[in-house]
Amino acid sequence: MREKQIQDNLIKETNLTGIKFLIGSGLAFSLMSVCVKAIGGRIPVSELVFSRALISLILTRILLLKNNINPWGNQKKLLITRGMLGTLALFCIFKALTSLPIATATVIQYIYPTFTVICAYFFLKEYILKRIIYSIIIGWLGIILVSQPEWISNNNITETVISITIAILGALMTSLAYICVRKLSATEHPLVIIYYFPLVSIPLSIPLLFNNFILPNGIEWIWILGIGFFTQIGQVCITEGLRLLPAGQATSLNYSQVIFSSIWGILIFQESISSTVYLGGLCVLISTIISLNAIKSSKA
């Protein structure tokens, strides 16, 4: 009986740690979004991806050397696949952020927990708790409410539809990348998983720089450094969170980024928030609470 209680306490402690990492990743990624949005589309997306990857490569390499960790890992093919999927997702997310309001781009991206749960069911054989399904449905309803159809009030409907499609594609790529992270976490060190992201991103983005390079000026350097710094923190937190919690449950918690991004949109970019957006935010919050409670009561 005592052993079971000790085991339950360890599970709760592990889950709580995972929750903290995931909320931390939501905050870090929302700040990354602020940096991308602040540049305002003057710097090409490929350049932002390259800069982010270069900063991450340097920081991760230093941490690998400091901890005497072999950077090359064991499942190289899956690590490279994760890097490619993550890079494609990053291109889509950055492009969406430069052409859509920060709250809209973020909430559309958060269709990915639904994709993740479905993929985790098929590829990782993870059981889907009913509460998690309810959580995702409510969260998706919140996404629909928060991301009011931008194309209705936009004169260039085609461009807006393309931007929204790119954001949805980014969500799909993100979910597949996180499935890879979940699978890799069983055998690979988190820093190794993170290391392969920029290792793949840099060669993929370099060819796109040759005819479209723009030298950053003034505060743009700070925003670019912020993109690399906050993304690195977000990657560390999300990798640890996915290691500690099942993929479907873990990514449901990341709805917290929607709330953070909406706050930054109001405070920094003066983006208006309607009653519909507030209602959507409430749905997102309810979704996160349901997911959190499901995680606390679940067994390893």
Q: 67-117: per-residue pLDDT in tens? A: 999 999 999 999 999 999 999 999 999 999 888 888 788 878 877 777 777
Please report the pLDDT score of residue 300 as a whole number. 45
When pLDDT is cut at 50, 70 and 90, the band that residue 15 belongs to is confident
Helix, strand and coil content of the chain, in percent to the nearest 5, comes to 80, 0, 20
Structure tokens given for 62: 């230093």
How far apart, in whole angstroms, are the C-alpha atoms of residue 196 and residue 73?
A: 9
Residue 283 main-chain phi, psi, to 5 deg:
-60, -40
166-219 pLDDT per residue, tens: 988 998 898 899 889 878 988 899 899 989 999 999 999 999 998 888 989 889
When pLDDT is cut at 50, 70 and 90, the band that residue 6 belongs to is low
The ranges assigned to domains in the chain are 26-297
Please report the pLDDT score of residue 299 as a whole number. 43
How far apart, in whole angstroms, are the C-alpha atoms of residue 153 and residue 157?
A: 9
Question: Residue 63 in contact with residue 191, Cβ under 8 Å?
Answer: yes
pTM of the model: 0.79
Please report the pLDDT score of residue 87 as a whole number. 95
Residue closest to 234 by CA, chosen among 263, 179, 194, 285: 194
Give the 3-state secondary structure of residue 72. Answer: coil
256: Cβ contacts below 8 Å, ≥ 6 apart:
22, 23, 26, 27, 288
Structure tokens given for 299: 């067994």
117-132 pLDDT per residue, tens: 777 777 777 777 777 7
Is 124 or 226 the better-scoring residue by pLDDT?
Answer: 226
How far apart, in whole angstroms, are the C-alpha atoms of residue 136 and residue 258?
A: 14
Question: Residue 217 in contact with residue 11, Cβ under 8 Å?
Answer: no
Residue 153 main-chain phi, psi, to 5 deg:
-100, 10
